[in-house]
Structures are given as structure tokens and as C-alpha cells.
Amino acid sequence: MVGTIPTVITGIAAAQLVSSGTLEILTEGFFSLPILSQVSLFAILFSIVFLAVAISQFLDPDDHHHSHDPPPAPINYPLQAITNATTERDRFLALYPHIRTEILNHLSSTHELIPEATKWVETMMDYTVPGGKLNRGLTVLQVHRTLTQSSAERELTPTEVARSSVLGWAIEFLQAFFLVADDVMDESQTRRDQPCWYKRSEVGNIAINDSFLLESFVYFMIDTHFGTEEYHKQLITLFQEVVLQTEVGQLLDLTSQKMVEGKPEVDLTRFTLARYKKIVKYKTAFYTFYLPVAIGMITSGVTDTKAFEVAKKICCRMGEYFQIQDDFLDCFGDPEVIGKVGTDIQDNKCSWLVVHALDRATPSQRTTIEDNYGVWDDAKVNKIKAIYKELDMPKVFATYEEESYTAIQKELDSVTHLPRDVFELLLKKIYKRSK
């Protein structure tokens, strides 16, 4: 507004000079002057103009940056469905159709995706995103709820539930991106009680591109729903950092297997506890535990850097516990319960079980492991499992689980920057889980 003042004044002054005849007199007088005097008058005039502009920018420095675009239209969240839902999971699920429609509309309108391809994306999302336990996504909502109850002593509004759920679904889309790609790399067969997406006859390696799409949708969701928030950049940076950390973890995992002429070769000397801990921290802990907690903290207004450091430390410890459970269930869990057929032995994975079995094995048992690990042969797999039982690995795991749980509880006793409930709700989900 201030920037228009010089223009208005100039217009009024020019009109007065013209109407009074003064402009004609000034013009004749100007051209009767020597050239140097004319140049001097122009210099004074331009100096006055630049001074006026400088003054206007000083009074309103952002005036020339103001956008004249209309504000974004309000998002019509399914608030009634959220209000009617009786469980946290149902409230969370109520938002998925809304997000799916947003993505499909964006692809068809902005990126000119034809109906056939749009239908492909819809089928792919429905197959790969909402079918899991949804623990990561639900955690975002639960952390936001816990922090709001603690700081503001109130419940979340339906709109706050919807917005927290958007970020929860962003993590679920990120999870789908990781799993679709991971299944291709590991040549897995089943995921969530159904064939892996790439195993469908019409999909194959198209799944690789689909995984890229799933990751892109994460940032579309954040930009659409949080693009005007002060913490928008913080959210984007957090997701980018966690994606890189997870990919580093995947690299550590994949390169734990020696490759010879494009095929993995068993080299159990690479399976060390130090390497295993790094794989777990980077591949699992950051995106499974720290990411949902950090998102809930950001959207709840937490700014204390110490609080984020504490959260990261505890979440990484929980992530290690969670992944060790996963490794145990891959071998000893019921496929009907965990929703997949474990293949860590066949895939030559650097898992907690084989790392600790190698540390405990006799020379004869180690030879058996070296001769049979990392082979897609049921008889060889059963020999490895038999060694695990000889070494009483289920008991070793049970002991680890109790010790880890106790250590986490002790660490929670020293938490002062955040409500303890933030971490207790995570621990309750994973303690002695069977899937």
C-alpha cells in the first residue's frame, strides 16, 4: 500500500500542472536552459524519485513482495466421519479416501494423467498403503493428542485430528514406498497376507516406478496441507533426512552380503554386532519411531532442541528392540499371524539371530551355519533353524527382551522435557508383540 503513494502524488501534481498551464511554461523554460543545466535538473529529478522509492520500502519493506494470488481454498476434511468414529484407528482411516482423491485429482488435472494410468495409481495405493497395522501413522495422532492434553489440557478438535492424520498417512505412504522397493530387492513373496505388489502378474518391475510415486505423494500431502505453516520447511527437512537415513540403513543391509558376478555370496565374517546395530538404527529406528514422534512434537509446538535429542535417543533404543523382535518373528513367528513368510535365512540377511548364533556356536555348529545359510532350500533352512534351537535362541531372545524393556523403562524415568506417556504408548505397542 505504501509503495503506491508516490504514484498517487505524482498523478495529482501532473494533473494540476496541466490544468493550470504551468506545465507549458515550465517546458518552455526548461528547453531554453543550457544543456548542462538541463542534465543537472534531470539528475535532481531522478534523485527525488529514487529517494521516494527508498522511503516507501523503508516504511513497508515487504510491500513489493506481497502476493496478490487468492488465499488457498479451505480443505473440506471429512469431519463428520471423524466425529462419528469410535476408535482412533477408525478416525485415522476416515481420512484415507480424502487423501487418495486429492492425489488422483492432482495427477489427472496438473499432470494430465490419463484415466487408465489414474486407475492404476488408485489400485496401487489401495494395495500397498492402508493394509498394514498403521502403527506409525497412528502414533503421529496419538503423540499430538498426548502433548495437547499435557500442555493445553484439552482434547484435539476434529480438524486437528484430520491434520495430524494427514501427516500420519504421509508416514504410511513412506512406509509403502520402502516396502514396495524392499520386496523387489529381497525378492520377497508375500506382504500383509497377500502377494507382494511386484509379484502380481500385471505389475512386475513397474513396482519400482510405483515406489517412486508413493514417495512423491508424501511431499505433495505435506505441501497441500501444511504449505502455509511456519513449520512447513521443518517437516520437509525432517522427512528428507529420515528418508536418507533409511536408505543408508538399507545400503548397509544390502552390502552386508558379498556380491560376486551379480549374485550374493555368503561371507559370515561381515555379520558383526556393530554392523547389525547400525543397520537397525538407520533402516528401522528413525522412520518407525523417531519420525512419528518428531512430527507430533513439531505440530504440537515443541521447539526445545533438547526435547528432540531425548526423543531421538529413546526412539532409537526402541527401534533396536523392535527390529530384533522382527528378526526373531521372521524365523519363529507364525506366518498366519505376522502376515508374511520369513525369508531372512534364505536371503542371507545380517539378522540378530545369526549374529548371536555365530557368537555362541561351536566350531561344528559354525560350519553347519556356513554351509547352509543364505540358500533357498527348505532342507538347509531347517538345518539353520535346528542350530538356533540347539543354541536356545528363543530363550536368549526372551532374556534380551526383558532386559531391553527394563533398560527403556529406566531411561524413561529420567525424561523431563516431554510427557512420559509419549513413549509409553509406543512401548506398549511393541512389548511382547507377536506380529
What is the C-alpha to C-alpha distance for residues 253 and 184, in angstroms, rounded to an integer?
Answer: 15
Residues 409-434: pLDDT tens digits? 998 988 887 889 989 988 988 988 87
What is the C-alpha to C-alpha distance for residues 75 and 364, in angstroms, rounded to an integer?
Answer: 65
| Strands 190-191 and 194-195, sheet pairing | antiparallel
Q: Percentage of the chain with pLDDT > 70?
A: 84
Last residue of a domain, one of 228, 246, 281: 228
Do 105 and 222 sit in the same domain of this protein?
Answer: yes
Interval 156-183 mean pLDDT: 96
Q: Is residue 72 part of a domain?
A: no
Q: Is residue 78 part of a domain?
A: no
Sign of CA dihedral 250, 256, 259, 264: negative
Last residue of a domain, one of 178, 206, 228: 228
Q: Is residue 76 part of a domain?
A: no
Do 157 and 179 sit in the same domain of this protein?
Answer: yes
Q: Is residue 284 part of a domain?
A: yes
Mean pLDDT score across all residues of the chain: 87
117-146 in b/e burial notation, b at 16+ Cβ within 10 A? ebebbeebbebbbbebebbbbbbbbbbbbb
Q: Is residue 204 part of a domain?
A: yes
Do 244 and 124 sit in the same domain of this protein?
Answer: no
Do 181 and 164 sit in the same domain of this protein?
Answer: yes
User: Does residue 13 surpass a pLDDT of 90?
Assistant: no
DSSP assignment of 93-104 equals HTTHHHHHHHHH
pLDDT band at 385 (very low <50, low <70, confident <90, very high): very high
What is the C-alpha to C-alpha distance for residues 381 and 386, in angstroms, rounded to an integer?
Answer: 9
Q: Are 256 and 186 in contact (CB under 8 A)?
A: no
Instruction: Enumerate the active-site residues.
Output: 133, 177, 182, 186, 191, 253, 283, 322, 326-327
User: Residue 65: what pLDDT?
Assistant: 47
What is the C-alpha to C-alpha distance for residues 75 and 121, in angstroms, rounded to an integer?
Answer: 22
Last residue of a domain, one of 164, 198, 228: 228
Do 211 and 340 sit in the same domain of this protein?
Answer: no
Residues 307-350: pLDDT tens digits? 999 999 999 999 999 999 999 999 999 888 887 788 899 989 99
Q: Are 239 and 170 in contact (CB under 8 A)?
A: yes
Do 193 and 98 sit in the same domain of this protein?
Answer: yes
Do 224 and 367 sit in the same domain of this protein?
Answer: no
Q: What is residue 409's three-state secondary structure?
A: helix
By C-alpha distance, which of 117, 122, 129, 141 is closest to 192?
129
Do 47 and 105 sit in the same domain of this protein?
Answer: no
CA Rg value for the chain: 31
Residues 109-148: pLDDT tens digits? 999 999 999 999 999 999 999 999 999 999 999 999 999 9
Q: Is residue 335 part of a domain?
A: yes
pLDDT band at 52 (very low <50, low <70, confident <90, very high): low
Residues 301-318: pLDDT tens digits? 889 999 999 999 999 999
Do 249 and 395 sit in the same domain of this protein?
Answer: yes
Q: What is the CATH number of the domain that holds 272?
A: 1.10.600.10
CB atoms within 10 A of CB 220: 17
Q: Which residues contact 242 (CB under 8 A, 6 or more apart)?
A: 174, 286, 287, 290, 291
Cell of 332: 519363529
Interval 193-198 mean pLDDT: 94
User: Residue 37: what pLDDT?
Assistant: 66
Do 127 and 20 sit in the same domain of this protein?
Answer: no
Query: Based on the structure, what is the number of domains in the chain?
Result: 3
Q: What are phi and psi of 106, to 5 degrees?
A: -65, -45
Cell of 320: 533396536
Query: How many Cα atoms within 13 Å fall on the side-chain side of residue 251?
Result: 6
Sign of CA dihedral 220, 226, 229, 234: negative
Do 291 and 362 sit in the same domain of this protein?
Answer: yes
Q: 272 lies in which domain range? A: 233-435
More confident residue, 3 or 353: 353
Cell of 274: 556393530
Do 212 and 334 sit in the same domain of this protein?
Answer: no
By C-alpha distance, which of 114, 170, 112 is closest to 140?
170
